[in-house]
Amino acid sequence: MEALFKSDIDDLKELGALSDKDVGVLEEADKAAEELAEPEYEHYLKHEFNSEAIGILAKHNLFGVPVEKKYGGTGSGALVHALVQQRLGQLGLGVSTLYDVQTFIAEPTVQRWGTEEQKSEHLKNMCSGKSIFAFGLTEPGEGSDQSLISTTYEESQGGYLLNGTKYLISNGSICNYIILFAARKAPGPKKEITAFIVDTKSKGFKVEMKLEEKIGLFTSDTSMLSFENVLVEKDAVLGGIGNGLRVAYSALLNGRIGIGSACIGVIEASLNASLKRSRERVQHGKQIGKHQLIQQHISAMRQNLEMARWPIFYAAMKKQEFDKDPNNVPALREMDMYSAMAKRIASRLAFESADRAVQVHGGFGYSLMSPVGQLFCDSRVARIYEGTDEIHDLKIASELLGDEFKAYR
């Protein structure tokens, strides 16, 4: 098992936070990451979606980690789920983004907000990898401000008619279903936003383009999608009419822990690669690891790992407490705060660590042929998606100052 990952497991097991069953799930995650490493690298160099990832993740039963056993999952807690994502994050954020959308965002959202019929229809296939989901919130003119959603729905033919465009949608062109957010097509200053589960085989759905000219994240599918008079049945509503923002916020809260956990993996991979390079590369008559300024980078990365991992573990454990009582508002606010801080810390330190790793590798580091070049390019987006640095700073500060100090509503 990968050394740093094993160290985390050992530490948490010693604290009584992991059971033998949990360790078994994590051993499968380690095997999956080993199996994924080569194809992930090959697809990255080709700048294409890693089509092998879904099969490998399903083979090791990793899609079902957060789902209750009665719906086909393993019923593992949020801490185990975070550790699985951490191990996948050592490969970069391509596979991690696929896994984040499917298991941190879509599955918990269906499990929490879905009707019994929706859970029975979708969760088992999601756990097996037969159904891949996307999360359709972001639009060309709407980023952090969900009140600007322009995709609309209106009642028609006993169901709802959907029209609009979604942008920067992970899993967008490879998914079977989309959790889509739309505003009621009606006059008035306040938009009533609702979530729907939309089958991508629906008439009127179209993948407008695959967004391939990204800074990184090449093995993650990112697309622009359009919906032109897409008709869905009334049972496609997820979480109730007008309840869309609550559904979206709960999903994004889970996603923060997912991306933050993957960033821990990025830090570990940056450190691992730099240790190897420092021992093998010789400059000025000695291994570069014997140069004090290289040691400074190594030291900083190890400190970054320690500073980032415990906030993520703590946020995951807070989520486990909240999952036992989803109606506990104080617990929700606490988890909201800690997940924001954890993701903010981890994403910043992941990007810094990848940058230091490039510096340790020198000219070779400034190449996508280098694993640290991939980590550097991939990690930049972690400071944007699932909530930007700035949004998290505002969220943390307003929680401390009080609701009347909220910078946005």
Same-domain check for residues 286 and 306 = yes
Compute the average pLDDT of residues 210-227: 94
Compute the average pLDDT of residues 169-184: 97
Task: Give me the percent of the chain exceeding a pLDDT of 90.
Answer: 83
Same-domain check for residues 347 and 217 = no
Same-domain check for residues 326 and 274 = yes
* Tens of pLDDT, residues 370-399: 999 999 999 999 999 988 999 999 989 998
For residue 409, pLDDT over 80 is answered with: no
pLDDT at position 188, please? 55
pLDDT at position 252, please? 93
User: Of the candidates 238, 266, 300, which is a domain's last residue?
Assistant: 238
Same-domain check for residues 265 and 232 = no
Same-domain check for residues 394 and 319 = yes
pLDDT at position 190, please? 63
Same-domain check for residues 160 and 120 = no
Residue among 161, 204, 198 nearest 178 (CA) = 198
* Tens of pLDDT, residues 151-165: 999 999 889 999 999
Q: What is the CATH number of the domain that holds 284?
A: 1.20.140.10
Q: What is the CATH number of the domain that holds 52?
A: 1.10.540.10
Same-domain check for residues 251 and 399 = yes
Same-domain check for residues 342 and 369 = yes
- Domain of residue 392: give its range: 244-405
User: Of the candidates 213, 238, 263, which is a domain's last residue?
Assistant: 238
Same-domain check for residues 269 and 382 = yes
User: Of the candidates 216, 238, 260, which is a domain's last residue?
Assistant: 238
Q: What is the CATH number of the domain that holds 187?
A: 2.40.110.10
Same-domain check for residues 227 and 95 = no
The tally of domains found in the chain comes to 3
Same-domain check for residues 209 and 287 = no
Global confidence as pTM: 0.94
Same-domain check for residues 339 and 222 = no
